[in-house]
Amino acid sequence: MNSSFENTSYKPEDLLASIDKLAGNTVVIIGDVMLDEYIFGAVERISPEAPVPVVRIENEEYRLGGAGNVAKNITALGGRASLFGFLGGDGSGERMREMFREHGIEDGCIQECERPTTRKTRVIAQQQQIVRIDRESACVPSADGMNNLLHGVGEALEKCRVLIVSDYGKGLVSGPVMDRLRRIRESMPHELLIIVDPKPENYPAYRGVDLLTPNTKEAGVESTVRLDGGGGDSLSKDVFAAGQRLMGELESRELLITLGAKGMLLFRSPHQAVHIPTAARKVYDVTGAGDTVIAVLGLSLAAGLESLTGCLLANYAAGVVVGQIGATAVLPEHLREAVVSWPEINIRQYLIP
């Protein structure tokens, strides 16, 4: 496949003006909420019971994960986030509700007693992860619980133009749920955009949404590297082919493939894509960058900004989070500082036959 490109540019001062527009806008999020637990400790000996290290706990930390992390990224930038998902009827669920309050997240979550709260525990000693312990239930939420949740989503969307679906494959998102969300979109007197952070096994369910944000693996990209070298920021034909294929299959209006260290590629149609190379200056921890991307993009769209502007802001914000240790959310001043002090990024528009 041949693709031709031209360099495009943006004005940093326009991006700064766009950042000022983010605060105060509302985004509704539905998806899999989870609790990330970090146990930090020291290993001093091997257990006499089995050939495993004994970790003496020094410190414990809890962070919002999954759809909860998306909501946290929105409120950190001054946006309003209404969050809908399922919690278990356990202590982790209560803890999460407390964390929603701390972060100013509007809590539309439902506690289902039969399910545990999805919780991922990482045990870290001497800067190394020793083990991860997952508590989760893959069983489908009750019909009553789902009806109540979707009723709440419908009400919240009456005053909002953007719905983020944060699918971590924990049983909330399904074909029937996406059908209900599309019906809610049709019933609204105003425009409503549905944007999805997808799980590949649910692709058929997302047909006709406005935008999806898969990473390379989720988009089915084999390699982003060009076989002929190509140099610098150049992308493989595979990336363009995957984007065209997905857009054709899903009939989405737009598609954003996040490319890790290579930034992101926004397909504005199957024949036009814009590559935004990464803005990151240093990289410590890439976990949660995908949540930051969809959060900033969603908030930008809620502020009435163009999707390309939203992607540029999301790319700067992701560049900030990957440079922080631990999943801290980006504040408006961090985003402004990045736009002002990092070298301007070279975006390219591709026309794909």
Q: Can you give the binding site for Mg ion, defined by CB under 5 A?
A: 290
Report the residue number, 68 or 290, with the smaller CB distance to Mg ion.
Answer: 290
From 32, 167, 210, 291, the catalytic residue: 291
| Residues in CB range of 22: below 8 A, 6 or more apart | 77, 78, 79, 299, 300, 303, 313, 332
Q: How far is the CB of 41 from ligand ATP (least distance, A)?
A: 25
Among 259, 266, 296, 301, binds ligand ATP (CB under 6 A): 259
Tell me the residue nearest to ligand ATP as measured from the CB.
290
234 and 277 Cβ atoms separated by less than 8 Å: no
Should residue 283 be labelled a site residue for ligand ATP when binding is judged by CB under 6 A? yes
Report the residue number, 235 or 259, with the smaller CB distance to ligand ATP.
Answer: 259
Should residue 280 be labelled a site residue for ligand ATP when binding is judged by CB under 6 A? yes
- Active-site annotation holds for 291: yes
Length of the chain: 353
Among 18, 73, 117, 278, binds ligand ATP (CB under 6 A): 278
What are the residue ranges of helices labelled H in the chain? 12-20, 67-76, 91-102, 143-157, 175-187, 216-219, 237-250, 289-302, 307-322, 332-341
d(CA 19, CA 30): 24
Q: How far is the CB of 41 from Mg ion (least distance, A)?
A: 28
Closest CA to 74 of 36, 95, 105: 105
Helix (H, G, I), strand (E, B) or coil at 14: helix
5 burial type by CB count under 10 A (0-12 exposed, 13-18 middle, 19+ buried):
middle
Among 203, 286, 336, 348, binds ligand ATP (CB under 6 A): 286
The footprint of ligand ATP on this chain (CB under 6 A) covers a number of residues equal to: 21
The alpha carbon dihedral of 112, 113, 116, 119 has a sign of positive
> Which one of Mg ion, ligand ATP, none is in contact with 261 (Cβ closer than 5 to 8 A by kind)?
ligand ATP
Catalytic residue ranges: 291
The site for ligand ATP (CB under 6 A) is made up of 215, 258-261, 263-264, 278, 280, 283, 286-291, 293, 315, 318-319, 322
